[in-house]
Each structure stands twice: as structure tokens, then as C-alpha cells.
């Protein structure tokens, strides 16, 4: 199943377009929200979290992955969390020993990917454990926060200004 899902990693940089499909029509104010920016991420919290839309129109999140900071482009069109080679190496993954046996399509075209399991991914306290991820062999400069993380939250919603994560 995961192999099939990896093949469906089409539209790797379509975060804004795909997020519009889940836009909340009632841009409610949530004063209890914590905000995650590219510079901050809070941990060990259970309430809703918020990622503000960047000036470029994308949602960027600074996450804690297995205790280390990784900057992600939030991409609801990505089937799985997808790590660039550089981020995978910074996380201590031995990229030379991985089996790149998945064929995926990124914005740069077809490439290969390897399946890995991340112990935890946390964005502004919205923590998910045992997250399936892919290490993209080439063509991915920015890691993507895809549905193998987002789909395990109780819910998430996109407004015109922010992405709200409900752990």
C-alpha cells in the first residue's frame, strides 16, 4: 500500500492549490492557537496549532523530527512526508545504505525514493509518532510535510491566513 502511495506523489510542490480544497469558509479566530513559523516550534502541547501563510503564499513549518529541526513546505498533495537528501543526512539517516525502490514524481520529474520511518514529527506541539516518510534521491531541495503526517492529525483546516492543526 505504501509503495502504491509513493507512486502517487504527484504535484510535489502544489501546497497552495491543494490547500485551497480544504479552505475553511468561516475564517474563525482561534485565540487558543499556538503559531508555528519557520523560526519557532513548540512541543508537548495538545491543543490546536497554527502555521501562518508566508508572504510567498505557502505554508512553511519548522518541525521537530526525531528531536532535530527541519523546515518543511506543507503539501497536502504529497502522499508522504518527503525528505530531501540534505535533511535526511542531518537527521542521521545513512542515505547511501537506503533502498531507493520507489518511483516518484516531483516538480523536477521522475526520481527514486526510499522508505523510512520517523520516530516523531512535531509542528507547534502537534506531534505524530512513527511517521512513514520517503527520502527523495534527487530533485527535492525542500522537504515536504505530506499526508503521512497531516492525515494522522485528528483534523486540519486551511484558512486564507493560516493552516490550523488539530492533534
- What secondary structure does DSSP assign to 46-64, as a single string? -S-EEEEBPTTS-BEEEEE
- CA dist 22 and 10 (Å) reads 18
Would the pLDDT of 24 be above 60? no
Which residues sit opposite 40 in a β-bridge?
Answer: 37
- Comparison of pLDDT for 110 and 28, the residue scoring more: 110
pLDDT at 84 (0 to 100): 98
pLDDT tens track for 46-103? 689 999 999 999 999 999 999 999 999 999 999 999 999 999 999 999 999 999 999 9
Least confident window among 3-7, 9-13, 70-74, 99-103: 9-13
Rounded Cα gap, residues 82 and 162, in angstroms: 22
Between β-strands 109-123 and 102-106, what pairing exists: parallel, antiparallel or unpaired? antiparallel
**Could you give the dihedral angle defined by the CA atoms of residues 157, 35, 69 and 13, in that order, rounded to the nearest 10 degrees?**
40
φ, ψ (nearest 5 deg) of residue 5: -65, -35
Question: Beta-strand (E) ranges in 55-125?
Answer: 60-65, 68-74, 81-83, 102-106, 109-123
Place of cell 520516530: 119
pLDDT at 25: 26
Q: Could you tell me if 164 and 22 are in contact, meaning their C-beta atoms sit under 8 angstroms apart?
A: no
For 33-49, the pLDDT digits (tens) are 445 543 333 334 468 99
Mean pLDDT of 120-148: 96
For the chain, what is the domain count? 1
The CATH number assigned to the domain holding 113 equals 2.40.70.10
- In whole angstroms, what separates CA 105 from the centre of its chain? 16
The percentage of the chain sitting over the pLDDT mark of 70, rounded to a whole number, equals 72
**Position 23 pLDDT exceeds 90:** no
Q: Which domain holds residue 79?
A: 2-166
What's the mean pLDDT in 121-132? 96
Amino acid at each position: 500500500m505504501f509503495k502504491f502511495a509513493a507512486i502517487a506523489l504527484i504535484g510535489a510542490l502544489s501546497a497552495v492549490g491543494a490547500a485551497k480544497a480544504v479552505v475553511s469558509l468561516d475564517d474563525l479566530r482561534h485565540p487558543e492557537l499556538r503559531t508555528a513559523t519557520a523560526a519557532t516550534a513548540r512541543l508537548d502541547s495538545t491543543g490546536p496549532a497554527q502555521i501562518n501563510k508566508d508572504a510567498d503564499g505557502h505554508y512553511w513549518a519548522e518541525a521537530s523530527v526525531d528531536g532535530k529541526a527541519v523546515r518543511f513546505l506543507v503539501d497536502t498533495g504529497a502522499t508522504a512526508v518527503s525528505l530531501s537528501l540534505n535533511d535526511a543526512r542531518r537527521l542521521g539517516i545513512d542515505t547511501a545504505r537506503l533502498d531507493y525502490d520507489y518511483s516518484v514524481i516531483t516538480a523536477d520529474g521522475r526520481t527514486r525514493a526510499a522508505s523510512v520511518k520517523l520516530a516523531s514529527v512535531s509542528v507547534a506541539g502537534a506531534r505524530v509518532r512513527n511517521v512513514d516518510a520517503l527520502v527523495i534521491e534527487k530533485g527535492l531541495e525542500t522537504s515536504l510535510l505530506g499526508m503521512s503526517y497531516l492525515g494522522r492529525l485528528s483534523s486540519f483546516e486551511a484558512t486564507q491566513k493560516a493552516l490550523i492543526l488539530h492533534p
